[in-house]
Amino acid sequence: MSDNFKLATPHFTIEGVSRAGHETWFRIRDLGIALDAGRGPDEVVSMPHVFVTHAHLDHAVGIPFYAGQRQLQQLAGGTVFVPAECADDMRLVLATWERMTHAPFDVEIRGVAVGEEIRFARTLAMRAHAAAHRVAARAYEFIEVRHHLKADFVGEDVARLRREGVAVEEEYRKPVLFYTGDTDRGILEQNEALFQAEVLMIECSFLVDGHQDRAAKYRHIHIDDIADFADRFENELVVLTHFSRRYSRDEIRDAVRRRVPHSLRDRIRLALPEQWQRV
C-alpha cells in the first residue's frame, strides 16, 4: 500500500512519501524544492533544489537516480544540498556512477555547514541547523526574503528618492518552513527557530509505550517528546513525518490523538494519505 501524502498549506502544497527505514522524500513545487531524495521518485526529478538531510539510504539513495534522470530529460543543472561532512563521499558516488556508465552528470553536490545560510532563489533562503542523528545530519529552515517600502516613504516620490540614492526599502524575512529530517529530542530542547516557522515538518518515528528507549537509542523522536513541548509550538501547521513501519495508519492516528494535548492537536497533520491526515 502506498503512503502517498499531499497537503495544501496556506502558501504551498507538500507532496511526498515518508516511512522510517523505507523511503522519505517530499516535493514542494511552489518553492521549487525537494526535501530528501528517497529512492529517486519521478516527482523529485524536476525540482532544481534538493535538500538532503543525511546519508541514510531511505533519504539519499535517490541522488544518483535524480542526477541520471535530469541528464536523460535534458534538464540543466540541479543542486543537491547535503551535510558538509558527507559531501565528498556523495560526489565520489556520483563520479563512480559516471565512470561506470560513461555518462556525465550535470548535478552539483553542495555541502552545507550548521549555521550556513544560502540564498538559492530570488525570494528564498535556506538556513541550516544542527540535527543530532546517528550520522551527520542537518535540519533545513526556509525563509521568504522580500523587500518592502519603508513606512516613512509611503506616499512619497519613491522613484526620485531612489535616484537620490535613498534606501527606501527594507528587507522582510518570514520563516515559512522548517524541516527536521531524522533527529532526536535534542532539537526540541535546543532549537528556537523550529517553533516559529509557519509550517513545521518534524520526524516522529515512534509512537507507543515501550518505544521511548528505542527512539533515544536510534536518535529519533517519540510522540511523547513532542507532547512535552506542546505549549511551545507557534506554527500554523505541524506535520509529523517518518513513522516506523511497525505501526498501521490507524495506530498512528490513535496514538497521536491520545498523547498530544488538544491545544496542539488541531494544528497537527500526519504525513499519510488524506483519510489519516487529521487527528
| Interface residue list for Zn ion (CB under 5 A) | 56, 58, 182
Query: Closer CB to Zn ion, residue 27 or residue 70?
Result: 27
Measured from the CB of residue 233, what is the shortest distance to Zn ion in angstroms?
22
DSSP result, 196-238:
TSSEEEEE--B-STT-HHHHHHTT--BHHHHHHTGGG---SEE
Query: Closer CB to Zn ion, residue 219 or residue 253?
Result: 219
Q: Kindly state the DSSP code that residue 91 receives in the 8-state scheme.
A: H
Query: Closer CB to Zn ion, residue 157 or residue 213?
Result: 213
Measured from the CB of residue 242, what is the shortest distance to Zn ion in angstroms?
6
**Cα–Cα distance measured from residue 69 to residue 50, given in angstroms and rounded to the nearest whole number:** 14
Which residue, among 24, 5, 69, 65, has the nearest Cα to 180 in the 3D structure? 24
Query: Closer CB to Zn ion, residue 141 or residue 182?
Result: 182
Query: Closer CB to Zn ion, residue 182 or residue 198?
Result: 182
Measured from the CB of residue 32, what is the shortest distance to Zn ion in angstroms?
24
**Bridge-partner residues for 172, per DSSP?**
146
Report the run of H or E that residue 72 belongs to, with start and end.
helix 62-72
Q: Measured on CA atoms in the order 255, 179, 214, 185, is the torsion positive or negative?
A: negative
**Cα–Cα distance measured from residue 121 to residue 137, given in angstroms and rounded to the nearest whole number:** 23
**Cα–Cα distance measured from residue 146 to residue 228, given in angstroms and rounded to the nearest whole number:** 35
**Cα–Cα distance measured from residue 139 to residue 131, given in angstroms and rounded to the nearest whole number:** 6
Measured from the CB of residue 57, what is the shortest distance to Zn ion in angstroms?
9
Query: Closer CB to Zn ion, residue 182 or residue 225?
Result: 182
Listed in sequence order, the residues at least 6 apart from 195 whose beta carbon sits closer than 8 Å to its beta carbon are 229, 232, 233, 234, 235
Measured from the CB of residue 78, what is the shortest distance to Zn ion in angstroms?
23
Ranges of beta strands (E only) in 22-64 are 23-28, 33-37, 49-51
Measured from the CB of residue 219, what is the shortest distance to Zn ion in angstroms?
8
Measured from the CB of residue 223, what is the shortest distance to Zn ion in angstroms?
16
**Bridge-partner residues for 237, per DSSP?**
199
Query: Closer CB to Zn ion, residue 93 or residue 131?
Result: 131
